[in-house]
Chain A
Amino acid sequence: MAMFSQNPLMNGPNYSFNEAPRVNAPEGARQHRFDPYTDNGGSTLAIAGADFAIMAGDTRLTSGYSINSRYHPKVFKIGGTTADQKDATLVLSVVGFMADGEALKEKLDSICKMYRYRHGKAMSVEACARRLSIILYQKRFFPYYAYAILGGLDEQGKGAVYSYDPVGSYEREQCRAGGAAASLIMPFLDNQVNFKNQYEPGSGEGHALQERERRPLTRAEVEILVKDAFDGAVERHIEVGDGLQMMVVTATGIEEIYLPLKKD
């Protein structure tokens, strides 16, 4: 070996390309890395009533400070047997990264359809809620970056709302706000739906204060509440606005309502 070593630098082992020294390792300043996620803004809201559930979302789609679209629905009927979903019984809302949100919607929709074809009946909201959790959890190492809310009527006919985090943790709730303006809307719902911090007038002071008794809200009340919540969110959050889409799930079917919101 030494007989060949006229070159002092060659005395060490000759490297293969695999062992090449990393002189200019690619950590340069202009390095552009692919980020698979974006936030498309917008907000969603769901409230369960005694015999109905309302799912709502604004229709603005943003990226950064740009409004991509003024009408891009976030609330979808799920598990109908036709393209227009006219016999659907469940509603899903998604907010966050819309490409993931819509992929999630299409996956859940096809699962609900398969269930319906196999069993000859629509999936119950309880079963669908569990299934959605599993879908999200199965992708926990590359999550669907979407905050989902599932709404429908439970097997007693009561309004049901299930809310999720992006990796599948879920619970049934009376009401839930999701997305950009969730932190603005949620305290409002706590106060107006669950009567938090509301007390009976003249019931006393301190620990003697009596909480206002909770009662189920009527559909008309809830519709007004939803509109008020979004009007407030539009005022204070730049990613919320343009239009309000509401799906009202009742025993007779799902009714869709569209109301304009401020476009600024």
Chain B
Amino acid sequence: MDHRPQNWGRPRDDVYGAYDGSYLQSSGPKQATQSPIVTGTSVIALKFKDGVVMAADNLASYGSLARFTDVPRLRSFAETSVIGFGGDVSDMQYLNRHLTDLSIDEAYAAPSSTDTTTSPGAGTLNAANLHKYLQKLLYSRRNNFDPLWNQILVAGLDSSEAPFLASVDMRGTAFTSPSLATGFGAALAQPIMRRYAETDEQAAQLSREEAVKIIKECMKVLYYRDARSLDKYSLAVVTKAGVEISEDEQLEQQSWAFAERIKGYGTQTV
């Protein structure tokens, strides 16, 4: 028995071996996030005539474990924009809190949303402003080697009230396109969406119903082929009238008949 007070309550080294404190990382340079832990998969979005549709499933994975099955990954901002998060869920929650604080600060001076003479969110940040803000935030975090491990889609309207859709990733790379998808969606959903809206002009021909239908079809394809996905998802539509988010959508009319024909990676025939 070791009676020295500094060792009270500690596991005995002769029984358990010396304590491995290496994970504490108290020497050497500070280490920020080196990899995502709990993650969300694809976010997809498509512009249409009067706005943008966005969707993401409600799953937060812990590696290959489907850990949390009711985590909505779309949020609205100031009733004018929708933000969709792929990647690390804890960083998403940090950004969510940060954006909530930002929207409260912005609302200090904003006019009444119940005033019908002004459009909702007038005088506050629009989607284009918000996207630029997030780009600067993520880029500065990358510069400090403390990245926010997310790929983010921002949808809404720009200053001329035209549909706006843009992406920003953990390195601060930002871009815009008539349709956008993160993660697996870039490979699986983007080709489907581009079939309908290769250009802004084509996207401007789409009705809201058509856009929602295309997005739902893409979510189905993603569920068939992305192993880290879920059939419960969130769907958001943003237009001049505001933001509508439904967080309990269910994939319908699935057909797994194709699955039994798949061998190997799917290209094998015998």
- Interface of A toward B, CB cutoff 8 Å: 4, 6-10, 14-15, 17-18, 20-26, 31-34, 36-38, 40, 61, 63, 66, 68-72, 97-99, 102-103, 142, 263
Contacts and interface: CB of A to CB of B under 8 A. Distances in A.
Interface residues of B, number: 40
A71 B18 CA distance: 59
Nearest to A20: B21
Contacts of A68: 167, 173, 175, 177, 186
Contact of A70 (B7, B145, B177): B177
Given A17-B24, A21-B20, A61 B175 contact: yes
A69 B176 contact: yes
Given A31-B35, A37-B171, 10 more contacts: A4-B2, A4-B3, A7-B12, A17-B21, A24-B20, A24-B23, A34-B147, A40-B173, A69-B175, A69-B176
Given A24-B20, A69-B176, A8 B33 contact: no
B269 interface: no
B153 to A, nearest CB: 12
A61 to B, nearest CB: 5
Interface string B88-102: 000000000000000
With most chain B CB atoms within 10 A of its CB, the pick from A20, A63, A102 is A20
A25 B22 contact: yes
Interface in B1-36: 1-4, 6-7, 12-14, 18-24, 26-27, 32-35
Interface in B22-80: 22-24, 26-27, 32-35
Given A33-B34, A68-B175, A9 B13 contact: yes
A28 B187 CA distance: 30
B6 A21 contact: no
A4 to B, nearest CB: 5
A189 to B, nearest CB: 28
B173 A20 contact: no
Interface class of chain B by DSSP = loop
Contacts of A31: 34-35
Contacts of B12: 7
A249 B209 CA distance: 46
A97 B14 CA distance: 54
Given A10-B13, A69-B177, A36 B167 contact: no
A247 B187 CA distance: 33
A74 B6 CA distance: 63
Given A34-B145, A69-B176, A10 B139 contact: no
Nearest to B139: A99
B172 interface: yes
A203 to B, nearest CB: 52
**Ordered nearest first, which 8 A-B pairs have the shortest CB separation?**
A20-B21, A32-B35, A99-B172, A69-B175, A22-B22, A9-B13, A99-B173, A17-B21
A102 B147 CA distance: 18
Contact of B20 (A23, A33, A72, A98): A23
B172 A20 contact: no
A243 B145 CA distance: 34
15 contacts: A7-B14, A15-B18, A17-B21, A20-B22, A21-B22, A22-B22, A26-B22, A33-B34, A68-B173, A70-B177, A97-B173, A99-B173, A103-B139, A103-B172, A142-B143
A21 B18 contact: yes
A66 B173 contact: no
B14 A9 contact: yes
A106 to B, nearest CB: 10
Nearest to B31: A26
